Amino acid sequence: MRKDGSNWEKTADKIAITLFFVMFLIALFGLHSCNSAKIIERKDNAAFERVTAKRSLLDKIAPVVQGIYPCANDTFFKTTRDTTITHDTAISYIHSHDTVNKVRVDTLKVKFTTTKVIHDTALIVDKQKAAIDAKTIQNQALTIAALNQNVSDLTATNNKQSSKITWLIVACVLGGIVILGLLYLLFKPK
């Protein structure tokens, strides 16, 4: 107890308990707000609500979604059926004559064979998927053309650089010969 009559020990205990409680609330709030799955879910929900609330944003995002997940409303189905029927008849005649018993046997066998083959062909064409594929092929063709142009530009630049390097090497060799000649003239033995 102090001279002025206040009790520091009880006040310190109250401050410690209050600080502990505040730290506990901050930690609890921090753990709850830093949950990355919930943050991502909240952001996704906010983005979904923002897109569906504005018609202009929905008009922008609809072609992208249809490009990724094409619907089957414009799918074309064509089924063809082809039936092949073949008839085959085999006749076999067997004649046997027994001369001892004087018996004559004539046998006629007729065998009918019918074969039926059914060919079903289904043709399914997804027009939207075909359009997406055609657009992808067109984009790839443009990319290939741009890359070919870049390669030809780089080849031309490389040829210019190699020409400059060749002239630089020739100039260095000639300069070296001139310098060696001057050194020889200056320091030639007498």
pLDDT digits (tens, 9 = 90+) for 67-121: 777 665 566 666 777 777 777 777 777 777 777 777 777 777 778 788 877 777 7
Q: Are 7 and 1 in contact (CB under 8 A)?
A: yes
pLDDT per residue over 15-65, tens digit each? 878 888 888 887 777 666 666 677 788 888 888 888 888 888 888 888 887
Residues 133 and 139: their CA atoms lie apart, in Å, by 10
Phi first, then psi: what are they for 74, rounded to 5°? -110, 30
Residues 109 and 104: their CA atoms lie apart, in Å, by 16
